[in-house]
Structure 1
Amino acid sequence: MAEAERIIGTPEVGDDAEPQSEPAAPRGRRRITALLVVAVLAYLLDLGSKMLVVARLEHRPPIEIVGNLLKFDAIRNPGAAFGFGEAFTIIFTVIAATVIVVIVRLARKLYSLPWAIALGLLLGGALGNLTDRIFRSPGVFRGAVVDFIAPAHFAVFNLADSAIVCGGILIVLLSFKGLDPDGTVHKD
C-alpha cells in the first residue's frame, strides 16, 4: 500500500488487496457523520459571525484588524463574488440549492474522509449563503448576503465564502491526487 494511501485511509484496489477488517456500511456512515459535523460547524460559525456583524458592525465605521491590510466592514452583497451579478440573485439561490442537493446525493457513496471534509465545507458554506438569500432583505430568494471580511485590494467576503473556497481547493487537490469520493485511488 502506498504511503499516501495509508495516511489518508483509502482502500487499496486490485487483486492483491487485503480484506478489510471493518464493513463498508459503518465506515460510510462515519464519513457521512464527518461531512455533517463539518457542514454544521461551518454553517454555525458563518451564521453566528453574520448575526454578530449585523448587530455590532452594520451602519458603523469599519474596524481595522491589521492596519490597512485587513478590516471588518459590513456590507450587503446581492450579487456573487466581487459584487458581480446583482440582477441574478435568484439564480445564485437556485445554484446554491442545487449544490446542496448534489452534495446530499453524493454523500450516499462517500467513503473518503478528506472528501467528507471538503464536501462538508462546501455544504456548510452553501447553506450559510443560501440562508441569507432566503431570509434577508429585500425578500425571499432575493436577499443580500452579509459580507464583512475586507482585505486590502480584494473583495469583501464572509466565512461561508471561505468555507466554499477551502472546500473547492481541497476537492481540486484530492482530484489531482487521484482520490475519488468512494475512497478509491485511480492512477491516470
Structure 2
Amino acid sequence: MRLMTWTAIWIFFLDQVIKFHVLFNVFGLQWQDVRVPTGQLPYPPPVEVFPPFLVLTMAWNRGVNFGLFAEFDMRWVLIGVAFAISIAVVWWLRRSGGSKWVYLSGGLLIGGAMGNVIDRIFYGAVADFLNMSCCGISNPYAFNVADISIFLGAIGLAFLSDDKKKAA
C-alpha cells in the first residue's frame, strides 16, 4: 500500500508542477485568466517544442475522454466519479493485494485522477496541452501527464492483476 500511496503522491505532484509551468510560464497565462468565475478559459497559440512530434496546444476539457459530453456541466459528477474510482481501487487492493506492479498501477491511476480533480475544482475543466503527431497523421487531441498516468494505471490493473479466483 505504501508503494501505491507514494506513487499517487508523486504523480499528482508531477502533474500539477508540469501543468503550472506550462500554463503560467510557457503559455504566459495569469491566474485571473483561468479562474472558474471568469467563464471563458483562454486558448493561447500553440508552442512548437519538437514539431510535429510534440506541440503544446491548449485544450480545456470539460467532459470525459476526448471531450465527450463537454456540453453538459458535469464537473462535480466527474469529480465524484474520480473519488469513487480511487476509493474502489484502494479498497480492492487492500482486500486482494497484488504485486508491486499492481500497487504501482493503482498509484498511477489514483494520482492522475486526483490531478485532474484539482483542475476541475480550480479551472472548471481539465488542462490538456500535450499534442503529439507523427508520420503524416495529425492528432487533433491533447492530453496531460495525469491522463497518461490514468491510462497506464488502468492498463496495469487490468493486465497485471492476478485474480486466482478466476482461474479456479
TM over 0.5: yes
In the alignment, structure 2 segments of 5+ residues that lack a partner are 30-42, 134-138
Q: Select which of 37, 62, 78 maps to 1:78.
A: 62
In the alignment, structure 1 residue 98 sits paired with structure 2 residue 59: no
TM-score (norm 1): 0.69
Query: Which of residues 118, 121, 137 is equivalent to 1:131?
Result: 118
Shift of 1:131: 1.1
How far did residue 35 of structure 1 move? 0.4
Counterparts of 1:67 and 1:93 in 2: how far apart (Å)?
Answer: 34
- Structure 1 unaligned residues grouped into runs of 5+: 1-31, 137-142
What's the Cα RMSD here? Answer: 2.0
Using the alignment, how far apart are the partners of 1:55 and 1:163 within structure 2? 22
Residue of structure 2 in register with 1:114 after alignment:
101
Give CA-to-partner distance per residue, 1:32-82, whole Å, 9 cap, x none: 110011111110010111111220215542222222232112222111111
SS in 2 for 1:108: helix
Write the deviation string for residues 144-168 of structure 1: whole angstroms up to 9, x where unpaired: 1111101231420010000000011
**CA, structure 1 residues 39+130, in 2 after alignment: closer, same or farther (shift >3 Å)?**
same
Percent of aligned pairs sharing the same letter: 30
Residue 91 of structure 1 deviates from its aligned partner by: 2.3
Q: How does 1:1-188 map to 2 (within 5 A)?
A: 32-56=1-25, 57=27, 58=29, 59-86=43-70, 87=72, 88-109=74-95, 110-136=97-123, 143-152=124-133, 153-175=139-161, 179-180=162-163, 187=167
Following the alignment from structure 2 to structure 1, what is the Cα–Cα distance between the partners of residues 122 and 147? 18
Of structures 1 and 2, the larger Rg is shown by 1
2: CA distance, partners of 1:106 / 1:171: 11
How many residues in Structure 1 have an aligned counterpart in Structure 2?
Answer: 145
What SS class does the counterpart of residue 52 from structure 2 fall into? coil
Identify the range of structure 1 (111-120 vs 85-94) with the bigger mean alpha-carbon deviation: 85-94
- Cα distance in structure 1, aligned partners of 2:24 and 2:75: 24
- Whole-angstrom CA distance in 2 between matches of 1:185 and 1:106: 14
Q: Deviations for 1:91-133, whole angstroms, at most 9, x for unmatched residues?
A: 2222111112112323423242111011000110111011111
Mapped to 2, the partners of 1:118 and 1:154 lie a distance apart of 28
With the length of structure 2 as denominator, give the TM-score of the two structures: 0.77
CA contact (8 A) 2:48 2:55 kept: yes
Aligned 8 A contact 2:127 2:144 in 1: yes
